[in-house]
């Protein structure tokens, strides 16, 4: 299935990556709106690398890449391109969907976004309660599993 991002729908890209001082990383980056973006507009489609649970348990959970993985039903995905550069916000402006069969994650504007605003997603409340969790299950997965949580991101948006 082909997906158009806001970059391909307009002459100019709708986002740019630039340094941001607040994440605490040595070279911290964020993704910012290069123009106004309408609610519901597809902002990005990130192709993914599939990571099996076995590969995660044996390798990925021991690397910095663990913090960039998305999880869906006990499977792990590393988003390529800017897909892994969206920072966390408790009030994110982007929604995302892991399309497991297509190995892509789509990022859509959850509300109207102003030019210059940082494009953010939520990592979920469990992620910030205990980042040292090393054993993960489908029921208690601290990496982006909140999207199916009725008390999580979608409920907060009242969609």
CA–CA separation, 18 and 53 (whole Å): 33
Does 6 have pLDDT greater than 60? yes
Residue 26, in any domain of the structure: yes
Residue 35, in any domain of the structure: yes
Number of domains in the chain: 1
Predicted pLDDT at 24: 64
Does 156 have pLDDT greater than 50? no
Contacts 24+ apart (CB under 8 A), 52-61: 52/76, 61/134
Residue 1, in any domain of the structure: no
Residue 43, in any domain of the structure: yes
CATH of the domain at 27: 2.170.270.10
Q: What value does the CA radius of gyration of the chain take, rounded to a whole number of Å?
A: 15
pTM above 0.85, yes or no: no
Residue 84, in any domain of the structure: yes
Q: State which residues form the domain around 36.
A: 6-157
Number of other CB atoms surrounding residue 146 within 10 Å? 20
CA–CA separation, 42 and 31 (whole Å): 15
Predicted pLDDT at 145: 41
H or E segment and range at residue 156 = helix 153-157
Predicted pLDDT at 20: 83
Pairing between strand 87-88 and 120-121?
parallel
CA–CA separation, 103 and 124 (whole Å): 21
20-32 pLDDT per residue, tens: 876 666 778 899 9
Dump the DSSP string for 64-126. Answer: GGGGGEEEETTEEEEE-GGGGTPEE-SS-SEEEEEEGGGTEEEEEESS-B-TTPBPEE---HH
66-78 pLDDT per residue, tens: 888 888 778 899 9
CA 147 to chain centre: 11
Question: Which of the four pLDDT bands, split at 50, 70 and 90, describes residue 65?
Answer: confident
Residue 147, in any domain of the structure: yes
């Amino acid at each position: 299935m082909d997906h158009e991002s806001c970059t391909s729908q307009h002459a100019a890209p709708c986002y740019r990556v630039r340094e941001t001082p607040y994440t605490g990383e040595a070279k911290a980056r964020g993704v910012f709106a290069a123009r106004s973006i309408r609610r519901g507009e597809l902002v990005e489609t990130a192709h993914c690398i599939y990571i099996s649970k076995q590969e995660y348990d044996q390798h990925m959970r021991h690397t910095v890449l663990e913090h960039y993985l998305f999880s869906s039903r006990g499977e792990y995905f590393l988003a390529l391109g800017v897909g892994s550069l969206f920072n966390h916000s408790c009030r994110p402006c982007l929604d995302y969907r892991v399309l497991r069969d297509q190995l892509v994650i789509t990022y859509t504007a959850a509300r109207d976004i102003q030019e210059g605003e940082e494009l953010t997603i939520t990592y979920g409340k469990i992620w910030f309660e205990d980042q040292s969790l090393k054993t993960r299950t489908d029921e208690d997965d601290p990496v982006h599993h909140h999207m199916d949580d009725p008390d999580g991101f979608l409920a907060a948006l009242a969609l």
